[in-house]
Structure 1
Amino acid sequence: MTVIWIIAAVLLTAAAAITMFRLLAGPGTLDRLVALDTFVAVTMCAIGTWAAFSLDTTVTYSLTALALISFVGSVSVARFRVRDTDREGGIT
């Protein structure tokens, strides 16, 4: 059973690293927004995995708080976003 937890931790770490790369290297604002939402989802999966591994349900309240804050943040950024311009000066 320990092997399964190790595999889950390795996969979640790899997903977080790949998502962080996209967050830092994303060419546009919406690319970064999607990467941030994905990173929050991976973090929520990691918290859920930790709750299942440790049999501690007190951390599950943070899942609800993280989901609400992420939703409000994403909607705010999408609502008040300014258009990106490409390198030639045109609007994308």
Structure 2
Amino acid sequence: MVVAAGLLVLGRLLRGPRVLDRVVALDALVTLLVAGAVVGSRLRGEAAGGHVVIVLALLGFVGTLAAARLVQRREDMR
């Protein structure tokens, strides 16, 4: 299910008519990557992947904030 959702989000990322659609799709894709990493580590019985998941989640959040701020500045300049 995570892979199917990732493919749908990837389609929105590539086709998105506006920049904000692509930003939201990229954020959703990072969230799905984090979810996939958690599911994969639990299926393998590993608990050591927690640090990687936290770093991925934080990078996704910061990246989304930066992209939203960039889009806002572009709109303010127009």
Q: Normalised by the shorter chain, which TM-score bucket?
A: 0.7 to 0.9
TM-score normalised over the length of structure 2 = 0.88
Unaligned 5+ segments in structure 1 are 1-10, 84-90
Considering Cα pairs closer than 8 Å and 6+ residues apart, tell me whether 1 or 2 has the greater RCO: 2
1:58 partner SS: coil
Q: In angstroms, what is the RMSD of aligned CA positions?
A: 1.2
- CA deviation vs aligned residue, 1:15-56 (integer Å, no higher than 9, x gap): 110000000000011000010011111111100101110111
Larger radius of gyration between Structure 1 and Structure 2 = 1
Runs ≥4 residues deviating over 4 A: none
Instruction: Please tell me whether residue 26 in structure 1 is matched to residue 27 in structure 2.
Output: no
Q: Which residue of 1 aligns with 2:26?
A: 36
* Larger helix percent: 2
Unaligned 5+ segments in structure 2 are none
2:63 partner SS: helix
Q: Which residue of 2 aligns with 1:77?
A: 67
User: What's the offset of the Cα at 1:57?
Assistant: 1.2
Percent of pairs with identical residues: 31
Aligned residues: 74
C-alpha separation between the residues in 2 aligned to 1:40 and 1:70?
A: 6
C-alpha separation between the residues in 1 aligned to 2:32 and 2:57?
A: 11
